[in-house]
Amino acid sequence: MADETNGGAAATENQPAGMQIQVLGQHIKDLSFENPNVGKIQIKEGESPAVALEVNVEAQRLGPDVFESAITFTATASHSGGTIYVLELNYGGAFRLQNVPPQAMEPFLLVNCPTLLFPFLRRIVADITREGGYPPLWLDPVDFGALYMRRQQELAKTAEKQ
């Protein structure tokens, strides 16, 4: 008889249980919105400020099967008159991960978990920029897989030089 909780395949003692992922919570770890030149910078209609974005991810173990994955995000909007705003946000989530193969743990924490968190970070960024008196900053999706691969390549190059 098939077990419907695992896709219809009957589990046996010889088969490892599938990966189990549970989102325990999500939270703002740190948030800062600086509006240093409010009222001083005049942006003419049709002009757009330059917006520099920076995204980083990190993860840490919180307990035996519990991990935190966090996205550090910075947006700096500027114009010829100076800095318009700087938004810094560190947004994290706590995850219970069970039966994740050791070789898959790091990519899971630095790719899959941030992918789950990103829509919430995106909404916070839009709300904060709007509440700061500017049009909402709507972020395009981030390819956390490509970000992870780029970081792995950078680490490999650094290791080769040493």
Across the chain, what does the average pLDDT equal? 88
- More confident of the two residues 67 and 3: 67
SS3 for 149? Answer: helix
pLDDT of 38: 83
pLDDT in tens, 1-10: 444 444 444 4
Residue 159 has pLDDT above 50, yes or no: yes
Please state, in angstroms and rounded to a whole number, the distance separating the CA atoms of residues 44 and 47: 6
pLDDT of 152: 92
What percent of the chain stands above pLDDT 90? 70
What domains are there in the chain, each with its CATH number? Answer: 17-40+48-145 (3.10.420.10)
CA angle 118, 132, 128 (to 5 degrees): 15
pLDDT of 17: 64
pLDDT in tens, 24-37: 999 999 999 999 98
**What's the whole-model pTM score?**
0.82
Scanning 74-142, the segments in alpha helix (DSSP H) are 102-107, 113-131
pLDDT band at 61 (very low <50, low <70, confident <90, very high): very high
Q: Which residue has the tokens 């909402």?
A: 136
Question: Cα–chain-centroid distance for residue 63?
Answer: 21
